[in-house]
Amino acid sequence: MNGITRYIVRQALAIMLFVAVSFTAAVWLVQSLRLIDLIVNRGLSLGLFVYLAILILPRFIDVVMPIAVFIAILFTYNRLMSESELIVMRATGMSQAALARPALIAGTLSFAVLLSFSLYFLPAANRAFKDLQFEIRNRFASVLLQEGMFNTLSDSLTIYVRARDTNGELIGLLIHEGREPDKPITVVAERGTFVDTDSGPRVLMMNGSRQQYDRTTGKLSVLTFEKYSLDLAAYRDAADFRDREPDELFLNELLFRRPPPGDTSRLIEANLRLINPLTALAFCAIPLACLLTGEFNRRGQTKRVLLAVLLAFLFETLDIAFKNLAGRSTAAVPFLYLNVLAPILITAWMLWRDSREAPPRHLAASPTPAE
């Protein structure tokens, strides 16, 4: 790598890192604010909140990185052209391939980062996040209870809470339990609270009634109580037995683990994992095609920059559209590959064409005719 290539690579990587960190931090902060309520009003520990916030970070990096590559290369090469540095480099004999090499290095590095996320970090983070979310829902049910709503904690347990006081005590409780479909139970209480015991979480209720309806006999049994506790551990399934969703599976599991009959979600997810790293190279190719190819315009490159932005917007629109179509039918998967490979192949062809058509930079001196 010569000095000029290192000079351009350093500029592109610095801008790419700045944009990626800024965009990721902004999106991550907005999304993390949704979890703050779990600390302020639900009693979740600060350490658990930070851990949850870190686990959602990879999915934002996965989206922001290709955009950061596009902005970095577009800004870097436009600055090089506006300050005539690119003209000097061409005058020294640098080919189109040599000028494009720094951008390709930056794009390849981002491709490697996104590939590592697709292969390991993203599914690992999704798996840990959903396991912890599942565990919170089962072990810390009070954290997820929303006032004024029917909260479904499992297939057989629904809890309604009218309000919550400043001490975290629940006011106006209604619990419907349906482990035995023929004998559903409904519990109504004035007040209640969640307690953790050695055997698991329980909800302790005061001043209420327990109603059990026998569908077979048609009888309703009513029990009035001052104190009553319900064991929530009986409604909890171990996290190890939770079915993994496609975004939690590693690539080898998506490709080689046999899916349920008729389920194509794993196949689609596997293709998306392979396609997403290529978007970094596609976003790298678009500004190169617009700024490096064609004739130099002394009046500026505004039209070329706007064209690059328009093409990037079109590419992203088609990418989202084809992903939505692929979610419904696997027939749309080839269009995803076509959309991401087209900018790369077209840019490679345009750079090769310009290199072939470019006049020689250094002409040998003509021999002096003999006198």
pLDDT in tens, 177-222: 888 888 899 999 999 887 767 666 778 899 999 999 888 888 889 9
Average pLDDT over residues 34-44: 61
pLDDT-derived band at 240 (thresholds 50, 70, 90) equals very low
Share of residues in the chain with pLDDT > 90 (%): 39
Measured between alpha carbons, how far is 79 from 246 in angstroms, rounded to an integer?
43
Residue 39 CB partners (closer than 8 Å, separation 6+): 45, 46, 49
Question: CB of 350 within 8 A of CB of 285?
Answer: no
Nearest to 336 by CA among 277, 260, 287, 252: 277
Instruction: Please say if the pLDDT value at position 261 is more than 90.
Output: no
What residue has token string 């009035």?
224
Residue 144: predicted pLDDT:
58
Nearest to 304 by CA among 288, 290, 285, 283: 290
Residue 260: predicted pLDDT:
76
Instruction: Please say if the pLDDT value at position 288 is more than 50.
Output: yes
Instruction: Please say if the pLDDT value at position 133 is more than 80.
Output: no
Residue 177: predicted pLDDT:
87
DSSP run (H or E) holding 163: strand 157-164
Measured between alpha carbons, how far is 56 from 251 in angstroms, rounded to an integer?
19
Residue 136: predicted pLDDT:
66
Instruction: Please say if the pLDDT value at position 43 is more than 90.
Output: no
Question: CB of 225 within 8 A of CB of 208?
Answer: yes
Residue 44: predicted pLDDT:
63
pTM: 0.73
31 vs 70, more confident = 70
Question: CB of 71 within 8 A of CB of 27?
Answer: no
| 195 SS3 class | strand
Instruction: Please say if the pLDDT value at position 357 is more than 70.
Output: no
pLDDT in tens, 14-25: 999 999 999 999
- 351-360 CB burial, b ≥16 within 10 A, e <16: beebeeeeee
Measured between alpha carbons, how far is 322 from 344 in angstroms, rounded to an integer?
18
Share of residues in the chain with pLDDT > 70 (%): 83
Most confident stretch, 53-57, 71-75, 349-353: 71-75
Instruction: Please say if the pLDDT value at position 76 is more than 60.
Output: yes
Instruction: Please say if the pLDDT value at position 141 is more than 60.
Output: no
Q: Is 90 left (phi over 0), alpha (psi -120 to 50) or beta?
A: alpha
Residues in the chain, overall count: 371
Which own/partner contact pairs does 29-36 have at CB distance under 8 Å and 24+ positions apart?
A: 31/56, 31/60, 32/56
Instruction: Please say if the pLDDT value at position 251 is more than 80.
Output: yes
Amino acid at 334: P
Among 13-17, 88-92, 151-155, 350-354, the least confident range: 151-155
